[in-house]
Amino acid sequence: MDDTAEKGPALQMTSLLCTLHDHRDDVNWCAFSAKLLATCSGDKTLRIYNTSDFSELSFSPLSGHGYSVHCCCFSPCGQFLASCSTDATTVVWSMVTGEIEAVMEHPGRSPVRICALSPDSIHMVSGASDGTLALWDFPSKQLRRTGAVNDTTMVACSFSPCSQVFMSGSTYGDLRLWDLNMNQLHAEKNAHDLGVTCCTFAPSILSGGQVVQFRLASCGQDSLLKIWAINKFSSGAYKMQLLHTLTGQSAPVLSCAYSSDGQLLVSGSVDKTVAVYDAKNAVLLYTLKQHERYVTACSFSPTSPLIATGSMDKTVNIWRLEDGCSGHGESALTSGEGRNSAGRLKLLVTDWSEEDVSEWLVEEGLERLVDKFRANNIDGTELLSLTKETLASELLIESVGLRNKLLRKVEELKSESACSGIPDEFLCPITRELMKEPVIAADGYSYEREAIESWINTKNRSSPMTNLPLLTTLLTPNHTLKMAIGRWKTSH
């Protein structure tokens, strides 16, 4: 178990898989589709990753908003991504091309804080700082209806799994249930003292007799995570009932999300922790403590036992739930399919598959060992534990020179993978790996030469750090930085 996780009463385990360092400001939201992860930030961009290896897609980052991007959500099929911003728009992006499909301007031009898509892909709701809600027809991107709650800011919204009603939450502290005609079906005032921060429906529908029941989780500035039952009666009336109040975090809870089977519930807090609960029994399973600042976002993958958490420390952490405890079975990340070198090296070496190890051997000029390693099922964990004795007696590698070369490469790998101890200025902003040939670009930042050259060739000469055009593609070797990295490597 990762030493950043404190185990609760359950037997399941969780581990930190990788950390994404690409955003340049607070991470405000993260969302999974079946194959992608989207994150958005105060740096005005969204970033899109392939969940097979967490390599960034070629058209990422997405730059179309004029101000901070507060929320993003995928369409159920994963073909589209919606995002909303302080610039008073909700933008719909194609996940095939990265192009903008539509820009929807919020009525009243107030900053849009939240957006949500219905599970049937027919409707989208956006909520703004002036308390207004806009209901859009998603296929046509046309505004259908508006609603409002005075003297508050809309900060939370979620559709029920039947797509016929949705819940909104505001800084006033209330939760309100709406139908598709923007009629208020129920208002739960003072649901959270000092304000709601997030709400999310569980994916399942419970029915019995004359009652249909949904479950909803909400969190707020009162440092509480609450689980509600929302009952719909045959008469059409709705009633909300508080089932559980979870107190696993010591400061305002900013985000919450259900797993796709509804069995787990995750939340992120101002206390810098991520709490994972057994949703049915309302039991804290574990607390994750990797982030350095407020945890502002959390999301479960619908297809793999993965959690993404975003923070004001500008990072996104990817956590893996061991033993398929969310009911999803083996993580897709144990497969080598669709990986590339850059994506593989973003993972912890201990999480490399046998295929990853084989690819690494080829890259390091040790291809003659591939068949032997495959025959002995050497994965990342096994690779790091190799010794001269095991290479000679168990793997039967007779060449002393070959054994020594392999062990040197393994030691280099251990050094390079210990990124938590590397000064940030020694890491390339693009690859987040220790630089070997640092160069200074026209934006004044230093990058690994190969990475920035590739970036310039594919990103239309924009700066990876500022997104502004590079006035020149001239790259100047940063000898001072290279010497500093060399001294650091020698001392470590």
Please confirm whether the linkage preceding 161 is cis (ω < 30° from 0): no
In this prediction, residue 192 carries a pLDDT of: 96
Taking the C-alpha atoms of residue 90 and residue 476, their distance in angstroms, rounded to an integer, is 40
What size, in residues, is the chain? 492
Task: Name the domain boundary from 301, 321, 341.
Answer: 321
User: 3-state DSSP call for residue 401?
Assistant: helix
Choose one of 387, 416, 445: the last residue of a domain.
416
Does residue 324 have a pLDDT over 60? no
Is 166 in the same domain as 60?
Answer: yes
Q: Using only the alpha carbons of the chain, give its radius of gyration.
A: 24
Q: Taking 90 as the threshold, does the pLDDT of residue 330 lie above it?
A: no
Give the pLDDT mean for 43-50. 96
pLDDT at 460: 65
184-232 pLDDT, tens digit per residue, is 999 999 999 989 999 999 998 887 667 889 999 999 999 999 999 999 9
Q: Is residue 334 part of a domain?
A: no
**Sheet-wide strand order for 446-448:** 446-448, 438-440, 476-477
Position 208 scores a pLDDT of 64
My answer on whether 82 and 145 are in the same domain is yes
Point out which residues pair with 93 in neighbouring strands: 81, 100
Q: Is residue 306 part of a domain?
A: yes
Structure pTM? 0.66
Confirm whether 309 is domain-assigned: yes
Cα 86 to Cα 74: distance, rounded to the nearest angstrom:
19
Q: What does the pLDDT average to over 163-173?
A: 95
- Quote the DSSP letter at residue 367: G
How many CB atoms neighbour CB 205 within 10 A? Answer: 14
Domain assignment of residue 91, yes or no: yes
Contacts of 411 by beta carbon, 8 Å cutoff, 6+ apart: none
Model confidence at 328: pLDDT above 70: no
The SS3 assignment for 373 reads helix
| DSSP-assigned beta bridge partners for residue 176 | 168, 187
pLDDT, residue 414, reads: 66
Residues of the domain holding 375 = 349-416
CATH of the domain at 480: 3.30.40.10
3-state secondary structure 264-289: EEEEEECCCCEEEEECCCCEEEEEEC
Q: Place 10 in a pLDDT band, splitting at 50, 70 and 90.
A: very low
pLDDT given at position 63? 95
Reply yes or no on whether the pLDDT at 151 is more than 50: yes
**pLDDT at 333 exceeding the cut of 80:** no
CA distance 242 to 384: 50
Same domain, 268 and 382: no
pLDDT at 420: 46
pLDDT at 143 > cutoff 80? yes
φ and ψ at 332, to 5 degrees? -65, -20
Let me know whether 203 and 233 are in one domain: yes
How many domains is the chain partitioned into structurally? Answer: 3
Asked whether residue 327 carries a pLDDT value surpassing 80, the answer given is no
Alpha-carbon distance 482 to 76, whole Å?
47
Is residue 252 located within the same domain as residue 363? no
pLDDT in tens, 354-380: 888 888 888 888 888 888 888 888 887
Are the beta carbons of 143 and 128 closer than 8 angstroms? no
Mean pLDDT for the chain overall: 85
Q: What are phi and psi of 457, to 5 degrees?
A: -70, -25
Least confident of 190-199, 279-288, 448-457: 448-457
Mark whether 387 and 463 lie in a shared domain.
no
From CA 317, how far away is CA 297, in angstroms rounded? 10
Q: Does 467 lie in the same domain as 445?
A: yes
Q: What is the pLDDT of residues 392-435, one digit of tens each?
A: 888 888 888 888 888 888 877 765 555 446 777 788 888 777 88
CATH number of the structural domain spanning residue 25: 2.130.10.10
Q: What pLDDT does 417 receive?
A: 53
Mark which of 416, 440, 460 sits at the end of a domain. Answer: 416
15 vs 18: CA distance, rounded Å: 9
Q: Does residue 404 lie within any of the structural domains? A: yes
* Residues 157 and 291 grouped into a single domain: yes
In this structure, are 235 and 122 located in the same domain? Answer: yes
Q: Is residue 176 part of a domain?
A: yes
Residues 52 and 148 in one domain: yes
Task: Write down the pLDDT at residue 283.
Answer: 92
Q: Which of 462, 422, 460 is nearest to 445 (CA)?
A: 462
Q: Which band of pLDDT confidence, cut at 50, 70 and 90, is reported for residue 101? A: very high
Nearest Cα residue to 30 out of 41, 17, 16:
41
- pLDDT, average across residues 332-347: 40
What CATH number did the domain enclosing 369 receive? Answer: 1.10.150.50
Average pLDDT over residues 89-104: 96
